[in-house]
Structure 1
């Protein structure tokens, strides 16, 4: 249903920053975290159109990995919830693009995001502060 995932130049820049900060080298892994972050928010993305103008492109299989059916089901559900037709491949692709880009942008905006444990903390406690650090500790030791 979805053949390829192509990112905007802005999302590419965000992913490059996230790769440096987290040490996670794969675009697809960080992109999955971004998608999950956005889908966890019940509000629809404000951005309705995304220009995929970067040279970062991956196949759906590379993006979704072994959980492609799960991601596709989540996207179809969200597409329907936001008024789209979950049987329309273009509507599902649109849902993917707007949520993927919103999620990548949100992750990039989390300045305390430093490694995989911070991503896990975000997944376990998305509100209000994804990472609880001691503000007086420059090493970022968790409380």
Structure 2
């Protein structure tokens, strides 16, 4: 399955109609893991959107969270690495969300927030 298929599945399950919102959830879900994604996504399966569309008003926060995670992994903090990691985290996070059997609706995302904050 590629990230587009994950997002289609999540849209159907959650009734959240836009990919950018689901990609934000996927990014946060992946960043909750202490490890870096191991399989970078191929560029031919990427979902293309501008940073502004992806991040909305939280752009600085999402970029800072990504940079902190990469820093903790000992990665170079150049733009190419950060963009690659952004895509990898979104892909991994979307896979986690699709694979979560409790992810049935938008309320499931809200419950996930509580669970991740409690870790």
TM-score (norm: length of structure 2):
0.90
Q: Which runs of 5+ in 1 are unaligned?
A: 1-8, 128-143
Offset from partner CA, 1:69-107 (integer Å, 9 cap, x none): 111111111111112122x10111122111111101000
Q: Counting strand residues as a fraction of each chain, which structure ranks higher?
A: 1
2: distance between equivalents of 1:96 and 1:89? 10
Aligned to 2:2, what secondary structure does the other structure show? Answer: helix
CA deviations on 1:84-133 (whole Å, 9 max, x unpaired) are 122x1011112211111110100011132121110011111149xxxxxx
CA distance in 2, matches of 1:18, 1:61: 21
Alignment of 1:76-91 (within 5 A): 76-86=67-77, 88-91=78-81
Question: In 1, are the aligned partners of 2:13 and 2:104 still within 8 Å (CA)?
Answer: yes
Provide the C-alpha distance between the structure 2 equivalents of 1:19 and 1:111, rounded to a whole number of angstroms: 15
Aligned to 2:7: 15
Q: Which protein has the larger Cα radius of gyration, Structure 1 or Structure 2?
A: 1
Gaps of 5+ in 2: none
Cα RMSD after superposing both structures: 1.7
TM-score, length-scaled by structure 1: 0.76
Distance 2:52 2:104 in 1: 27
Question: Does residue 96 in structure 1 map to residue 86 in structure 2?
Answer: yes
Partner of 2:43: 52
> Runs of 4 or more off by more than 3 Å in structure 1?
none
Secondary structure of 1:114 counterpart: coil
SS in 1 for 2:44: coil
Q: Which has the higher contact order (CA 8 A, sep 6+)?
A: 2
